[in-house]
Structure 1
Amino acid sequence: MTGSPTQAPGVDRAEDRRRELRETISAITLDLVLERGLDAVTVDEIARAANVSRRTFFNYFPSKAAACIPDAFPPDREAVRLFLTDRSVPTLAALARLLWLQVSRARQETPLFNRFHDMWRREPGVRTEVHAILARTEDELATLVARREGREPGSVEAATVAAASIAIVRVAVEQWRTDESPTLLEDRIRESFDAITRATEVTGR
């Protein structure tokens, strides 16, 4: 996540070090899981390989499954600004664009992303952690929707739109996980949102 303009250089450097260590732990976890399988790898082994303590591992990740999953949220400031200010599209379409941008950015900037796809196809047990991350993301999206529409945080309208969006993303993620084609996750997300748009147009006639 990009540091705020008011942060001191020391804060930025500390955040960079945290991000680098998080990426190192994640890469090592993914290496071990791809080599031996999720159930055969322990947190202690991951911590030793990453030269960190078990406690440090859990400071960064709630589980070894979570350590295999690349970060794709929170969104960067420009993506948020676009979502909040561009009223040329409906909120659901703006959310589709926000999520597309975030996943595309994560894939391009995170070397682990494609390797995660390979691992997840072999390890369906990671699904629980993926859906837990999506549930946390839903809360983030509800907050953004409320801001965009000038509603109270936690409003039923914002919560409903965010929940619908995450349900759409879940379908896209499952399609991508089992996909034999080279279709990208962000394109699966766009296809899923487009399917909802087409269905809504048909039923609205």
Structure 2
Amino acid sequence: MIKSATRRRSETTDRITLCAQKLTDEQGLDGFTMDDLAEAAEVSRRTLFNYFPGKVDAVLGLFPVLDADAVAVFVAGGPHHDLVQDLRALVVPLLRTEMMERETLARGRRIMLANPRLIARAHECYSEISAQVVSHIATREGPTFAALRARVAVSVLAALFDSALDEYLVDPEERPIIFHFDESLRTARSLLGA
């Protein structure tokens, strides 16, 4: 019963975000109202505000959170006992693959680049997740591991995802985004000798 309610909530959240992104793509962020969004998503205005406080948050959707069990495994030195591979294992679940269709990602990138408010809010959310990951690295690696190293590791992962997204959007073989992320990770490790 709880899972079905959770699944319904997730489906409604995703539907609202998809409609918000389509409206933003078609009309611009200021080209529609929350009432327009509620109608497009087939929810009441009250329901809409129970899910998102405003348009920017609706367009961006819910930002993923780190899985507590995965964090515990990571902090304990696992699952591979290799910091880079373990960071991959920690953050890849944040890439909600069910939302990773090319058209959806291309639209998301297009509207993000066209709207500074979206970029600013996304950066805030990214900074929060990054700070969490940096803290987990510090806990795992101990006080001798410089905070700068942890921040660089997280920044490199973000850059690798951006590179993977570029490749994913133009891949004629339509391989999954995780394939491209792993290719970017292998390339970076080869270039950096890590």
Normalising by structure 2, report the TM-score: 0.68
What is the Cα deviation at residue 130 of structure 1? 4.8
CA RMSD of aligned residues (A): 3.8
**Deviation string, structure 1 residues 48-103 (Cα, Å, up to 9, x no partner):** 4431249827x725544x43445562122333233223164321221123222332
Give the unaligned 5+ runs of structure 2.
none
How far apart are the structure 1 equivalents of 2:53 and 2:186? Answer: 34
Give the Å deviation of 1:200: 1.9
Query: Where does residue 167 of structure 1 map in the other structure?
Result: 159
Report if aligned partners of 1:69, 1:116 keep a CA contact under 8 Å in 2: no
**Alpha carbons of structure 1 residues 113 and 42: separation in structure 2 relative to 1, 3 Å:** farther
User: How far has the Cα of 1:46 moved from its partner?
Assistant: 1.1
State the identity as a percent: 16
Q: CA deviation at 1:197?
A: 0.6
Find the counterpart in structure 2 of residue 43 from structure 1: 34
- Structure 2 counterpart of 1:119: 107
Number of residue equivalences = 183
- The corresponding residue for 2:97 is 107
Q: Give 1:82's aligned residue.
A: 73
- Structure 1 Cα separation of the partners of residues 185 and 159 of structure 2: 10
Say yes or no: does 1:93 pair with 2:81.
no
> Which fold has the larger relative contact order, with Cα–Cα distance below 8 Å and residues 6 or more apart in sequence?
1
Cα distance between partner residues in 2 of 1:197 and 1:158: 16
Question: Structure 1 residues 143 and 52, CA, compared in 2 at 3 Å: closer, same or farther?
Answer: farther
**Cross-structure match for 1:196:** 188
| Aligned position for 1:136 | 128
In the TM superposition, what is the alpha-carbon distance from 1:143 to its structure 2 partner? Answer: 2.0
* Contiguous gaps of at least 5 residues in structure 1: 1-8
SS of the equivalent of 2:45 reads: coil
1:136 and 1:26 mapped to 2: Cα distance? 21
1:25 corresponds in structure 2 to 16
Q: Alpha-carbon deviation of 1:31?
A: 4.6
Q: Is the 8 A contact 2:21 2:108 kept in 1?
A: no
CA contact (8 A) 1:145 1:162 kept: no
